């Protein structure tokens, strides 16, 4: 199978606790956290590859109700 290059944009923020967190609107479900900027990018890259592979698999099979659920979750902080 041919590998495809995909460009995604990471939104990386430094938290007050000193950790970094990365998210992306390009890859649904991507949230990565690390102690350093570099660690966060590395984790985000690994996670993006895994998520994109799963999305590709999901697109290649029929979806039924149990495969896709939109569930509103409300939390208090």
Domain ranges of the chain: 11-61
What is the pTM (predicted TM-score) of this model? Answer: 0.71
Angle (nearest 5°) at CA 13 between 68 and 31: 20
Q: Which of 6, 31, 5, 7 is nearest to 19 (CA)?
A: 31
Checking if the pLDDT of 77 tops 60, the result is: no
How would residue 62 be classed by pLDDT, with cut points 50, 70 and 90?
low
Map tokens 């956290």 to a residue: 33
pLDDT per residue as tens digits for the range 14-34: 999 999 999 998 888 999 999
- Distance between CA atoms of residues 45 and 64, nearest Å: 29
Angle (nearest 5°) at CA 70 between 48 and 20: 35
């Amino acid at each position: 199978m041919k590998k495809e290059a995909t460009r995604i944009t990471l939104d990386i923020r430094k938290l007050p606790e000193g950790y970094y967190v990365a998210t992306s609107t390009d890859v649904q479900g991507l949230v990565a956290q690390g102690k350093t900027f570099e660690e966060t990018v590395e984790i985000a890259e690994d996670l993006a590859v895994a998520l994109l592979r799963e999305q590709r698999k999901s697109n290649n099979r029929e979806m039924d109700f149990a495969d896709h659920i939109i569930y509103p979750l409300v939390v208090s902080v």
